Amino acid sequence: MKKILFLLAILSVGITQANNGKKDRTPEQIASIQSKKMTLVLDLDSKQQSQVEKLLLVEAKDRKSNKMKREDREKLTEEQRFTKSEAALEKKIAMKREMKSILNADQYAKWEKMIAKRSKGKKRGGKHRKGQDEKRGNRN
């Protein structure tokens, strides 16, 4: 019995640490992984990969520095929410312009499709929501 409890304790610690590993990634690690994924999908050359990685690093650092807790977000006034939304949209526009200058036309078109697919999933509630729609018979 003691052996089983000991194994369960070790397993739970291992699982907890594995889950925390994803949350505690540095902006540098995030940018590196994202740029490598994009290199595979878009067939970027080494110059493009380094430019994209720099751009993603700036974005990851910005995202980490601006991250707010749920309670803090709920305390924002309507004006503050508007300002944050407007700033986020400005950043997206700047990112899009930068990517357009780095990628060729085919890569940029493919990248836009990737972004559109990702944002469409968020609007619908992600994978979980999609599964619920299919169970109800609401397929689009």
- Annotate 17-35 with b (16+ C-beta within 10 A) or e (fewer): eeeeeeeeeebeebbbebb
Mean pLDDT for 63-77 is 80
pLDDT for the residue numbered 36: 94
Q: Identify the band that residue 1 occupies on the pLDDT scale cut at 50, 70 and 90.
A: low
Least confidently predicted of 1-15, 39-53, 64-78, 120-134: 120-134
Mean pLDDT for 99-120 is 90
Least confidently predicted of 15-29, 34-48, 98-112: 15-29
pLDDT for the residue numbered 106: 94
Q: Kindly report the average pLDDT of the chain as a whole number.
A: 80
pLDDT for the residue numbered 6: 63
- 104 pLDDT exceeds 90? yes
Top mean-pLDDT range of 55-69, 87-101, 106-120: 87-101
- 95 pLDDT exceeds 80? yes
Q: Identify the band that residue 91 occupies on the pLDDT scale cut at 50, 70 and 90.
A: very high
- Spatial neighbors of 61 by CB under 8 A, at least 6 apart, are 27
pLDDT for the residue numbered 8: 64
| Separation of alpha carbons 32 and 41, rounded Å | 14
Residue 116 amino acid letter: A
- Among residues 54, 52, 59, 58, which one has the least CA distance to residue 103? 52
Mean pLDDT for 98-122 is 88
